[in-house]
Each structure stands twice: as structure tokens, then as C-alpha cells.
Amino acid sequence: MNRTNDQPAEAVPRYDEIAPEMGFREYWYPACLAKEISEKPLPMTLMGEPIMFLRRNGKLYALADECPHRGTRLSLGNCQFPGTNTITCVYHGWTFDVTNGKCVAALTDGPNSAVVNKVSARTYPTTECQGIVWIWMGHQKPVAPEEDIPPLFRQATIVKVVRRLAYGNWRWHVENPGMGHALMLHRSSLFMRVRTYPGFAKNIQPKLSDDGIDGTWLCEYCDDVGMAAEFPGLGVWPQPTLGRGLVHEDMSPLHGVAAKVSLRLPGITRVTHFPINGAMYYEWFVQTDADHYIYFQVCCGYSKTLAERASFLARYHLWGHFSGMIRFNQQDLSMVANSQDFVNRHGSWNGPTKLYAPDCFQLAWRDYAARYARDIAKRPAATANASTVAAGTAAAG
């Protein structure tokens, strides 16, 4: 099969090898909303693993959703000893302490069963932040959640979440952001039809930056944009359309963040002034199985007064939520689904290419991930010093 990729032979296989299908594990990931967790187990599949979330005595716990005995889903069970931190398997009565996963009883074998304290169900570290449940899927000792949950997310006074189960793989979606696709794909969206929108970017420069207080991110910068141009033998593109310029697109720095679009391990997207001006927008992609992932979208506001809060919420609900987070981002999901179909047909995917200048951002992401993912480098990428790694990352572009 002919490919456009002109990268050195070792570059693509290296990334393909280290970017796991299910995602980098040694990070905190959003799983669900805190209000969804109760005494009754909530089953989920994350990174190919069955997991259940539940509360006991008000505290949050996560366990492998399979009994070590015969593999029955523990989430089918319940608490046979009210007031205790236990759950009992519905199949044979094996009972587990949810705080540490240890089997503390096998009911149908009597109180003196030899099974007690001999087997355990895996437990997962969890935390709650901004009404969201976060889980550590890795096997290394968890880092402090603050290392993976961005500071500007934690400081938000308004947090709005949209989740959907999407068809595809996180790797296709994390390589979606950037001006290359935005200036074409989203041109047809209602969100962009009312904005003055350039046709192409000039001299895109990916750089590791720690502007503001949000930590180190791989940011996309560009020197200039072109509104329209003559394409030899074809004509002028883009053509002016009715309605452009009705809405002002705020490109100013937001809380010290100058880049419009940024990426960060384990695969977080950050966009300023989206889906409404003044909002900071984050995306997480949490793989469930080989063909699906949870698309976790978060809009953050920073209102300080009741009037500011009312204005933010009105703009979000009347415009940003549907036109931005739902319809606008649905176009991205459609392209990710197309990439998944391509992979299913051919057995591999076409990566970014140096022949197409805007792909320098995606190439820089690959270099950044290969150098600093905890699963590979065994050190926190979020705390890496931007000045020490900028040269290598920029070289990838």
C-alpha cells in the first residue's frame, strides 16, 4: 500500500510500538461522575479491564469486576453484612473487603473456610476532583493526582462535562487536534460559520511550554495565517460565505496560556476559549476495548461573581454546549471513526507526514510521547522542565 509518510524508517515503528492500544497506564484518568457512585456497584470497562466502583461508609473504592474464584462479575453481588466494607459474590458467596480486595469469607464454605485471606481481588487507587472520579490504572506506585489533573482544571469554579462512548482508538483522536484539520473539517460547522476563519496557517511551530500555571504542555503556535489564496490552476480558496464574522473569536491568552491548542500526556487536549469565550476546554480519551473509548469533554469556567456565573452558564447552555461540545466535536468523532475503519481494513494506520507542514504538531506529539511517557521513561512527564526537552520535541516537527 502506498503511503505519504516520509519519516525515517525507525520513527514510525518506534511510536507504533510504545503507544499502547489501550493507552498509557501509569496516569490518572477520569472514569465517571462522582454522583454516579453509590452503595450499589457501578460496572465499567477501562483499558480492557472490567472494573466496578462503589461506596462503603461514604468512601469511594474500585475493584476488579471479577471474582478470583470463577470469574463471575462481582458487581452482580451485594453487601451481605450491612455496615461493613464488603461485597459478596452472587455465585458462591465469596466475600471481599473492598478496602484491600482480600477475601474475608466464603459463605457457602462456612466461617472456617480455608479460602479466607488466601486470595484477593485487585483494587485500584481512586480520587475525586471537581465532581469526577479518577482512577489509576497502572502498576507503578501512583503519583499525586495533582501531577496529572491540570491546575486550571482544579481551580475552575464551573465544570461542565459531556461524555460519550466513541468508536475508534485514543491514538487516532490524540493526533486529531491542530490547525491542519480545524481549518478544513470544522469550516462547515455551525460553530465556525459565524466566525472569521482563516484558510491556512503559516509556519506552525510545536513547542513545549509552561505558560501560566497549568504545567508543561506541547503547544501549537504559528507565525501567521492566510485568509484566502490563489491556488494555481484552481482558483481562490476559501470563498467568502454569508454570516462570517458575526461572532468574535477570542485568541488572547487565557490565564497565561497563549496557545490555542495544546497536548499533554497521557493524551489530554486543551483548547482556550472553547466552546465559549473565557472557557478552558479539556479532553481525555479513555479506551474501553479495542474499538471504543470514552470521550471525556470538560468545559471549565472561572466566574467570581453571581453575575459572571450567570453569564457563563447562559452562553454555555444557549450556544457552547450544543454547537461546540456536541456538534462541532461530533465532526472529530466522525474522522476518528473513519481512521478506525481504515485500520480495520489495512491492519495499520497512516501516521502524520513531514511532507504536510501542519503535521509537525502531530510529529512533535509522537516524539514527546516516546521520550516522556511514564510507561517508557519511568518519570513524570507533567513535571518535566520545558527548556530541557524543547529542542528534541521541536526537532520532530
- Coil, helix or strand for 275? coil
Q: At what angle do helices 360-372 and 11-18 cross, to 10 degrees?
A: 60
At residue 383, the pLDDT reads: 40
CB atoms within 10 A of CB 46: 22
Identify the structural domains of the chain with CATH numbers, from first to last. 28-128 (2.102.10.10), 146-395 (3.90.380.10)
238 preceded by a cis bond (ω within 30 of 0)? yes
At residue 391, the pLDDT reads: 38
At residue 194, the pLDDT reads: 78
Please compute Rg for the chain using Cα positions.
23
- Exposure class string for 220-233: b at 16+ Cβ within 10 A, else e: bbbeeeeeeeeeee
At residue 289, the pLDDT reads: 96
At residue 248, the pLDDT reads: 63
At residue 380, the pLDDT reads: 42
At residue 377, the pLDDT reads: 64
At residue 395, the pLDDT reads: 42
Please name the residues in contact with 130: beta carbons below 8 A apart, sequence gap of 6 or more. 153, 154, 156, 159
In the numeric block, the cell 450491612 is attached to 82
The x, y and z cell numbers of residue 369, run together, are 510521547
203: left (phi over 0), alpha (psi -120 to 50) or beta: left
CB atoms within 10 A of CB 15: 20
pTM: 0.89
Distance CA 268, CA 377 (A): 18
Q: Residue 251: name the closest of 314, 342, 351, 182 by CA.
A: 182
- Coil, helix or strand for 138? coil
- CB burial class (10 A; 0-12, 13-18, 19+) of residue 148? buried
Q: Which parts of the chain have pLDDT scores under 70?
A: 1-13, 242-248, 250, 377-397
Residue 104 phi/psi, 5-degree rounding, is -110, -5
Distance CA 324, CA 299 (A): 10
| The Cα angle at residue 365 between residues 360 and 368, in degrees rounded to 5 | 120
